[in-house]
Structure 1
Amino acid sequence: MNMIQKLEAYGETHHPAWLDTLRIALGLIILIKGIIFIADTSSLVELMQSSGWPWATMAVAHYVAFAHLVGGILIILGLKTRVAILFQIPILLGAIFLVNVHRGYFTSNGELLLSIAVLALLVFFFFWGSGPFSVDHWMRTHQER
């Protein structure tokens, strides 16, 4: 077993229930952000145009909204959590390093702190796993069905 597999195995066996509440809250934050992006697409397109990639604005805007909606639901349910997190991490890295750099890192906007906190939680749950109150855990324990 390599180091990542050992860490995953430890995370799956030593997962307190309150971490599932944190995972569900993380999924809700991502889902709500996706709904906000869908409701106000013009602000998302404006953010993308200011990031220096005007040629990919619409494609990236659709990817971000779709990945947040689907990824948020999957993280809430604990279904294919690590795959859903893999699609979220580039979005959060872009939010931190591309979008907030144009707004200014030291503004009073709380978006940067939220992005950093969400990214940290995504990395944590990528290695720690989805926990005992998840569809992934149920599927592992009920393989005969």
Structure 2
Amino acid sequence: MGTIKTLNKWANAHTYYPLDAVRVALGVFLFIKGIHFMSNTQILMDLFTPIQNLAGGMITVHYVAPAHFIGGMLIAFGLLTRWAIIAQLPILIGAIMINFVGEMHVGNLVVATATLMVCIFFIFYGSGKHSADYYFKMQQ
């Protein structure tokens, strides 16, 4: 717990509007991806064709869209940002690995890798000073 407080103090002392804009953009991107997967389930099923015979394939399909949808909303508002990003990590790692198991799509690989890197940054940085987490912490 002390490490998280130390990271939060550092992040609050070094907060900048562009980093908050990147966090909001990440959340909006994941939210839109969640909506895209919810409205086009066949695209999501096509992505999972290389691993459809593995155990838990259908569970994975039902986890991806709601996790992007809800997690993107939480990240955009800066509410429970680290927890929402931790929920995104298995999806993003799977998105990178699917390119090597199935057909390689360089564009999807680049987007998934960039999103993973930004998520890893925000796990350490946190939600920042201009977020719902900071607002609720100051209300206590």
Letter in 2 for 1:44: L
Which deviates more from structure 2 when the two are superposed, residues 32-41 or residues 2-11?
2-11
Secondary structure (helix, strand or coil) at the match of 1:110 reads helix
- Over residues 85-115 of structure 1, what are the superposed CA-to-partner deviations in whole Å (9 max), with x where a residue is unaligned? 0100110001001x111122xx5x4111110
Question: Who is 1:74 aligned against?
Answer: 74
Query: Counterparts in 2 of 1:1-145, with a 5 A limit?
Result: 6-51=6-51, 53-97=53-97, 99-101=98-100, 102-104=102-104, 107=105, 109-143=106-140
Unpaired runs of 5+ residues, structure 1, are none
The ranges of structure 1 where at least 4 consecutive aligned residues each deviate by more than 4 angstroms after the TM superposition are 1-5
Identity %: 40
> Over residues 40-80 of structure 1, what are the superposed CA-to-partner deviations in whole Å (9 max), with x where a residue is unaligned?
11121122131354442221111000100000000000000
- Given that 1:12 and 1:129 are in contact with CA atoms closer than 8 Å, whether structure 2 keeps it comes out as no
**Alpha carbons of 1:131 and 1:29: their partners in 2 closer, same or farther (altered >3 Å)?**
same
- SS of 2:56's partner is helix
Counterpart Cα distance in 2 of 1:3 and 1:73: 26
**Normalization by structure 1: what TM-score?**
0.87
C-alpha separation in 2, matches of 1:62 and 1:52 = 13
Q: Cα RMSD between the aligned structures?
A: 1.8
> Separation in 2 of the partners of 1:3 and 1:69?
29
Aligned length: 139
Whether the 8 Å contact between 1:92 and 1:115 is mirrored in structure 2 is yes
Please give the TM-score of this superposition, normalised by the length of structure 2: 0.90
